[in-house]
């Protein structure tokens, strides 16, 4: 009985939104760590500090375990997002010739599926460039690849830089809506601090965007060597 209730709640519209919110907040916590490690390249010390940080992330058993949870969280977040999108489409099978959006509705809040798809494509490129080769090399040979040198090589290519800038740009708009939306879905809203949550979401989105965008751009422009 309890299990049936749990499954029905989880698969309901409210349950899906709550799952999206919880997985989204978990992924946001990962972004903080990932952005922090990436920001170590701005020491501009030939990659010494960054390499130490990347080595810690690649060898710490707790981090390695969280990586597995992270992959599950990303996949769950994607699946729930697609299920919500399909449910919304099914609820309105006949498309209106002219759609009127409420004044508080923003284009990025209405484009979360598109932005999420762009982020997913970016993740495929990003993991193929760095994470998958490094983990594979660790598994086969017990040592890490020179990630800093790989970054210098990858980001000397303007196409790679453009892909990363597009990914950072898509992530910015996705976070701008998703950050505050997660709190709303979990019922953690109140007129006293809703404005503060939205402000924190804007600041967080901007910091993450600048960190991920400036990394490839700084290398491409020769500011970091």
DSSP 62-126: HHHHHHHHHHHHHHHHHHHHHHHHHHHHHH--SPPSSPPPPTT--TTGGGHHHHHHHHHHHHHHH
Residue-level pLDDT at 150: 94
Which has more pLDDT, 59 or 48?
A: 48
Residues, the chain: 225
Residue 136: how many other CB atoms lie within 10 Å: 11
pLDDT range class, residue 5, cuts 50, 70, 90: very low
pLDDT, tens digit (0-9, with 9 covering 90-100), for 157-206: 999 999 999 999 988 888 887 777 777 777 767 677 778 888 888 899 99
Q: Is 28 helix (H, G, I), strand (E, B) or coil?
A: helix
Given a cut of 50, whether residue 130 has pLDDT beyond it is yes
Once rounded to an integer, what is the mean pLDDT over residues 126-136? 90
- Average pLDDT of the chain to the nearest whole number: 80
Once rounded to an integer, what is the mean pLDDT over residues 124-128? 90
pLDDT, tens digit (0-9, with 9 covering 90-100), for 70-103: 777 777 777 777 776 676 666 665 555 445 555 5
Residue-level pLDDT at 71: 77
Q: How far apart are CA 79 and CA 105, in angstroms?
A: 24
pLDDT range class, residue 123, cuts 50, 70, 90: confident
Q: How far apart are CA 7 and CA 15, in angstroms?
A: 9
**92, burial (CB in 10 Å: exposed 0-12, middle 13-18, buried 19+):** exposed
pLDDT range class, residue 63, cuts 50, 70, 90: confident
Given a cut of 70, whether residue 7 has pLDDT beyond it is no
Residue-level pLDDT at 6: 46
Q: Is 222 helix (H, G, I), strand (E, B) or coil?
A: coil
Which has more pLDDT, 220 or 15?
A: 220
**83, burial (CB in 10 Å: exposed 0-12, middle 13-18, buried 19+):** middle
pLDDT, tens digit (0-9, with 9 covering 90-100), for 208-219: 999 999 999 999
């Amino acid at each position: 009985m309890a299990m049936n209730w749990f499954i029905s709640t989880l698969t309901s519209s409210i349950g899906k939104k709550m799952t999206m919110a919880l997985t989204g907040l978990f992924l946001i916590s990962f972004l903080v760590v990932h952005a922090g490690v990436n920001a170590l390249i701005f020491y501009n010390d030939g990659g010494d500090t960054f390499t130490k940080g990347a080595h810690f992330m690649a060898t710490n058993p707790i981090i390695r375990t969280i990586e597995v949870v992270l992959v599950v969280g990303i996949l769950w977040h994607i699946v729930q997002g697609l299920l919500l999108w399909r449910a919304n489409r099914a609820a309105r099978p006949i498309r209106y010739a002219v759609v009127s959006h409420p004044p508080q509705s923003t284009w990025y809040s209405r484009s979360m599926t598109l932005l999420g798809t762009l982020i997913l494509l970016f993740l495929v490129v990003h993991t193929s460039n760095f994470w998958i080769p490094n983990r594979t090399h660790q598994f086969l040979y017990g040592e890490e690849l020179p990630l800093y040198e790989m970054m210098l090589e990858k980001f000397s290519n303007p196409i790679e830089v453009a892909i990363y800038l597009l990914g950072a740009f898509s992530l910015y708009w996705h976070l701008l809506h998703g950050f505050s939306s997660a709190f709303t879905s979990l019922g953690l809203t109140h007129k006293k601090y809703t404005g503060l949550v939205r402000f924190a979401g804007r600041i967080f989105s901007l910091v993450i965007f600048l960190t991920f965008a400036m990394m490839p751009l700084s290398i491409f422009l020769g500011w970091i060597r």
